[in-house]
Structure 1
Amino acid sequence: MSSSTPQHNRLRSRVACEPCRERKRKCDGGFPCSTCVRYAYDCHYPQSSRKRKAAAISDRERTSPMTEHSPPSPTDQEAQNRIESLEANSGSAFVRKMALGIDPANAPRLRLFAWNVFLGSRKSNHTPTSRSVIQILSWPEMEELVTIYFTKVDPCYGFVDRRSLERRIRAHWTSDSTETSSFEAVMCGVAALGLLFSRRNVIDAELDLVETAKRILEQSMSVHPSLDIVTAWVLRVAYMRMTAPAHASWMSSCMLMHSLEAAGIHSTHVLNWSADESGQTLTPEIRKRILGVSQHLNIWMSFDIGRSRVHLQTLDFDLPAPREGSYTTEILELLPHSENLNPDKNVDVLDLKNSLSTIVQRQHTAPPSILAQCNLTLLLCRRLRTLNFHFQGSLLNQVLSVTARGIQAAQDLLDDCAPWHHVVNVPFQIICILLALDTPAAIAQLTDGVKTLSNIQLVYPTDAAKEALSTACLLIHLHRKRKEADLRTLSDIVSTYSPSVLFDQQSATQPQHVTDWSSNTWLDTLPEMPDLQTFDIDRFLNGSSEWSIPGDWTQTL
């Protein structure tokens, strides 16, 4: 053939990664290779091929024009830091790790203890049916549930305009229409939360309301989300956070964040409407509140179960203005501190300590807001404990003050028939932190924490509440066993090596020609020490010649 004929030689990588080798796919030898990047495989190479892989990567770096702009791959230390952050952010992982440190044989298995009171058990034998809200509730019942919602739920999650809602509900009932619309999902969400916060036991109407809202939201996924759809999503996620299992709730919170993005609510640069197809205007204040509550729910669900949160690329968020009778802004002020705890961020001990000092000094007014403050405090404590930080002094006292207020706030909400997810979650996590702190003041709070958990399982006798109480008692039992083992070791040391015991043993084998010490032990011969508070023991143990003896001691000496 002529030398001018182009030669098409097949470019073959020197070594293929394991995922490409197993799936018999073409591998370019990169790390990660393009195939693994495309299909989200875990790109890795056989141990024996490390040198060849390094050579392949080196060749690729020399030939690729984009090498100098490519982001560096995470190091082993960065990966380990991320894992530790995930474990510290997740209360269940922290509980498991703490229990393994106390008694590996009897530690509870890894699961979300006390994530909410129900964990999917708020059900009955009734089969939920999707139908019009007018067929589920009467007008007086709807009025009552709207009042309950704005009395108990809206002050904490205030993102619904009450005047507009009541006006539209009245118009909907007047029209006597049985056709479902996106606004029906909003009404169902409000009514379902009203029933949750007014009845300890579920009724058939609540299940039908939840099912109706679910069907409407699922059918709306193929169209551009309206303000009613986004509002209904927030209501559904809030309801699920208090009643449903963790995985389903987290998935719904992710759907909520994607709905915000699709609607353009996440950014003022994207948003370009004055009203949706139903004629509802999205005011800047309502937009801030919807976006803030949605972020709060998604971030904390992700932290709790150790999964990724939804990051919106062009997020534009400002705090809403405070309003009388509402503490939504008070809770949303915690968002910047929560976002700084993402596992992909490197936060050192000093940053965590400063954040904790800021949080514990905040003044939160209402029980749900106090529990939110306490929950963030507990997370910061878990992160610091992971870094072997020792709590002491005023910071320890402030942390214990927040935990004490958290226990009391949970009891207050229990008395008010307000089953917020923190009602059982925060007392349980407080008990875990108190055991980890292991100071006399911390141990003294355990009684109040366990008593609150006991009251919760009496009011809401669900499997989740009973498991939270039994697991807390198990952790305390394991902690006590370790303390008893330490006490036995110390007692054995004293009984074996105490000078008085050694002298008794010598006296039994030697002639009685020495002074009789049987009536006065070696401790009795020491001078009285009436004022240990003024004695500088550190200087004494360090051999300083300048330490001063308390005045009462010199008299006895």
Structure 2
Amino acid sequence: MSSSTPQHNRLRSRVACEPCRERKRKCDGASPCNTCVRYAYDCHYPQSGRKRKAAALSADRTSPAAEHSPSTPTDQKAQNRIQSLEANSGSAFVRKMALGIDPANAPRLRLFAWNVFLGSRKSNHTPMSRSIIQIISWPEMEELASIYFAKVDPCYGFVDRQSLERRMRTHWSNSNTETGAFEAVICGVAALGLLFSRRNVIDAELDLVETAKRILEQSMSVHPSLDIVTAWVLRVAYMRMTAPAHASWMASCMLMHTLEAAGIHSTHVLDWSSAGESGQALTPEIRKRILGVAQHLNIWMSFDIGRSRVHLQTLDFDLPAPREGSYTTELLELLPHSENLNPDKSVDVLDLKNSLATIVERHHSAPPSVLAQCNLTLLLCRRLRTLNFHFQGSLLNQVLSVTARGIQAAQDLLDDCAPWHHVVNVPFQIICILLALDTPAAIAQLNDGIKTLSNIQLVYPTDAAKEALSTACLLIHLHRKRKEADLKTLSEIVSTYSPSVLFDQQFATQPQNINDWSSHTWLESLPEMPDLQTFDIDRFLNGSSEWSLPGDWTQGL
């Protein structure tokens, strides 16, 4: 069938290649098949008639003209997009890197350490949707709101504190037991307050999350108010730190569509009266902060799991003004750099290198913001690695400086009982990048990264945290095995072909020529060589006078 002819029915292969059969993946029967091409498997078929049949099926699906023609620009664009998706996704990078080290023992493709809990922050309690007044008391709500504004709001600052506290007092004083849009907001604030103050979940937290979820689901049939939009942002932020990746990404897409339905995405279509009818005024600053945090969440979730982000038409977004005690603007300043990494955009090595140089030079003041900077740095490093870029010099040192600060920031947040989603994700991805860089300075940081992951699984002993630690140790073990195999090969070469061995072979026939070797070995007689990290071999081979061989060395060659 010609490649230009649309295919309405899914083609099935009569036989699967060996890697797809072992991993129980769908195989298209090509040689190599698309699955093996994408995941860098060694595509091969059983030594039987099946291989010839698979090749015949593949030939039937390709026209003779297309078989000998080069790939079209459309095909190349699609391939580039796949490479960008895989480079943006930390899990795909981990899988591909492990396959390069040891294909037989590489971990399977999955989202390692996406957050600390991955859906495990729950108990045997069945969540109940009810009024927040029946779930927690007013003193408890005051305390949880204080925790929220102390730990969450400085990073995700999109809630007006004075307005919220005034409306909370009114809500409790009137003993209003009916749930509404505002209750979804305070349920979200209280749930995040519990998440950032208790290592283990309590029944009240699950009830708060369930109540907010029910209110938001019921609101889909009406025009969304500012309270509904605010409650959606709070819910998505909570899910990013606790829930599995797919459910969180779906919620972030719903949030973006809710913003569009409310008109908050554009100043030209915004219905200011309906947006502010809930009692909280939608100021230009609040609008910028809501829109910025929502974009931040949706973009990075789509990057992490290799899915599409929601692009809103006529999007009007400007950075909010900085305010004392908050670093939301600092976080949102990374948005333009993040959007440039969309898989649909074509970026070359120079663009990525310039972006990386800009990001590593930035100063981020608080641990959550430092982790966001580090996460973007790691993504840029992954993209550059796919283009075979070699890190060296000051850029490499700056990258390692950012990763060191990221490891320390994760430990600081752990000590503060602040389980941001990057607390476990960034240290794990740092370890992967350090192994990929494979320089002495990078390897030296591995101990701090593993130590932080170990501390995380001690404080939050979840399956996700334990899996992150065990997978990181597995990657280091595979890396060590490869190093040991290389060292063995080098040792065998030196022991077989070194001058001392050749000299020993000549000793039997010419023993009188060994007087000069009796006191020291051949290695000890060699002059000191320059450091290989700073030695420019190209200049040496081109006859540069900046570094010349000592006379004793050249005489011994």
TM-score by length of 1: 0.84
Q: Sort the Cα spacing of 1:222 and 1:402 in 2 relative to 1 into closer, same or farther, 3 A.
A: same
Q: What is the CA deviation profile of residues 168-223 of structure 1, one whole-angstrom value per residue up to 9, with x for unaligned ones?
A: 11101011011111111001000000000000000000000000000000001111
Identity %, equivalent residues: 90
Segment drifting more, 10-19 vs 160-169: 10-19
Alignment check: 8 A CA contact 1:302 1:308 kept: yes
Cα 1:550–1:418 change in 2 (3 A) is: same
CA distance in 2, matches of 1:2, 1:309: 32
Asked if the contact 1:86–1:343 (Cα under 8 Å) also holds between the matched residues in 2, the reply is yes
C-alpha distance after superposition, 1:330-375 (max 9, x if no partner): 0000000000000000000000000000000000000000000000
1:505: Cα distance to partner? 2.2
Q: Is the 8 A contact 2:319 2:333 kept in 1?
A: yes
| Larger Cα-atom Rg | 1
Q: Secondary structure at the match of 2:517?
A: coil
Is the contact made by 1:535 and 1:550 (CA closer than 8 Å) also made in structure 2? no
Task: Tell me if structure 2 keeps the 8 A contact 1:116–1:421.
Answer: yes
Mapped partners of 1:476, 1:152: distance in 2: 34
Do structure 1's residue 192 and structure 2's residue 202 form an aligned pair? no
When residues 89 and 524 of structure 1 are mapped into structure 2, their CA distance, relative to the original with a 3 A threshold, is: closer
Distance change (3 Å), C-alpha of 1:542 and 1:499: farther
> What secondary structure, in the 3-state scheme, does the structure 2 residue paired with 1:186 have?
helix
Change (3 A) 1:39 1:176: farther
In 2, the alpha carbon distance for the partners of 1:38 and 1:457 equals 32
TM-aligned CA distance change 1:279 to 1:491, over 3 Å: same
Please say which of residues 75-84 and 463-472 is displaced more in the overlay. Answer: 75-84
Taking the aligned partners of 2:6 and 2:393, their CA distance within structure 1 comes to: 78
Contact 1:266 1:291 survives alignment (8 Å): yes
Indicate conservation of the 8 Å contact 1:159/1:289, yes or no. yes
> Is the Cα–Cα contact under 8 Å of residues 236 and 252 in structure 2 kept in the other structure?
yes
Note if contact 1:528-1:553 (Cα within 8 Å) is conserved in structure 2.
no
Q: Is the 8 A contact 1:14 1:52 kept in 2?
A: no
Would the aligned equivalents of 1:410 and 1:427 in 2 still touch at CA under 8 Å? yes
CA distance in structure 2 between the aligned counterparts of 1:512 and 1:17, rounded to whole angstroms: 64
**Matched position secondary structure for 1:44:** coil
Aligned Cα RMSD in Å?
A: 8.3
Q: Is residue 264–residue 270 contact of structure 1 (8 Å, CA) maintained in 2?
A: yes
CA contact (8 A) 2:91 2:110 kept: yes
Instruction: Measure the CA separation in 1 of the matches of 2:116 and 2:21.
Output: 48
For the 8 Å contact 1:29–1:56, the answer to whether it is kept is: no
SS of the aligned residue for 2:547 comes to coil
Q: CA deviation at 1:4?
A: 38
Q: Give the secondary-structure state (helix, strand or coil) at the position aligned to 1:410.
A: helix
Which ranges of structure 2 fall in alignment gaps of 5 or more residues?
A: none
CA distance in 1, matches of 2:66, 2:81: 25
The 3 A distance-change label for structure 1 pair 479 and 463 is: same
CA positional deviation for 1:62: 26
TM-score, normalization: structure 2?
0.84
Secondary structure at 1:533 match in 2: coil
Give how far 1:23 is off: 29
Structure 1 contact 30–56 (Cα < 8 Å) conserved: no
CA contact (8 A) 1:266 1:314 kept: yes
CA 1:248–1:494 in 2, change beyond 3 Å: closer, same or farther? same
Post-superposition Cα deviations, 1:389-431, rounded to whole Å, max 9, x if no partner, equal: 0000000000000000000000000000000000000000000
After superposition, what is the alpha-carbon deviation per residue over 1:120-155, rounded to whole angstroms, capped at 9, x for unaligned? Answer: 000000000000000000010000001000000000
Contact 1:529 1:553 (8 Å CA) reproduced? no
Q: Could you tell me how far apart the structure 2 residues matched to 1:3 and 1:515 are?
A: 76
Q: State the alpha-carbon separation in 2 of the partners of residues 535 and 106 from structure 1.
A: 36
Checking the alignment, whether the CA contact within 8 Å between 1:241 and 1:421 is kept in structure 2 is yes
Pair 263,542 (structure 1): closer, same or farther in 2 beyond 3 Å: same
Distance 1:96 1:555 in 2: 49
Change (3 A) 1:133 1:18: same
> d(CA) in 2 for partners of 1:356 and 1:4?
39
Alignment partners' CA distance in 1, 2:126 and 2:556: 84
Q: CA deviation at 1:283?
A: 0.8
Give the C-alpha shift of residue 280 in structure 1: 3.0
User: Over residues 14-71 of structure 1, what are the superposed CA-to-partner deviations in whole Å (9 max), with x where a residue is unaligned?
Assistant: 999999999999999999999999999999999999999999999xx99999999999
CA distance in 2, matches of 1:65, 1:506: 64
Distance 1:77 1:363, change over 3 A: same
Structure 1 spans left out of the alignment, 5+ residues: none
> What is the CA–CA distance in structure 1 between the aligned matches of 2:73 and 2:200, rounded to whole Å?
50
Q: Which residue of 2 aligns with 1:204?
A: 203
Structure 1 Cα separation of the partners of residues 35 and 523 of structure 2: 77
Change (3 A) 1:253 1:66: farther
3-state secondary structure, aligned to 1:330: helix
Please say if residues 428 and 472 of structure 1, whose CA atoms lie closer than 8 Å, have aligned partners that are also in contact: yes
Worse overlay, 496-505 or 318-327: 496-505
Q: Distance in 2 between matches of 1:56 and 1:508?
A: 64
What is the rounded CA distance, in whole Å, between the counterparts of 1:388 and 1:208 in structure 2? 50
**Contact 1:530/1:552, CA 8 A, preserved across alignment:** no
Question: Could you list the per-position Cα deviations for residues 271-296 of structure 1 after superposition, in whole angstroms to 9, with x for gaps in the alignment?
Answer: 02265442432111100000000000
CA positional deviation for 1:504? 1.1
Q: CA, structure 1 residues 217+19, in 2 after alignment: closer, same or farther (shift >3 Å)?
A: farther
Q: 1:489 to 1:259 in 2, by over 3 A?
A: same
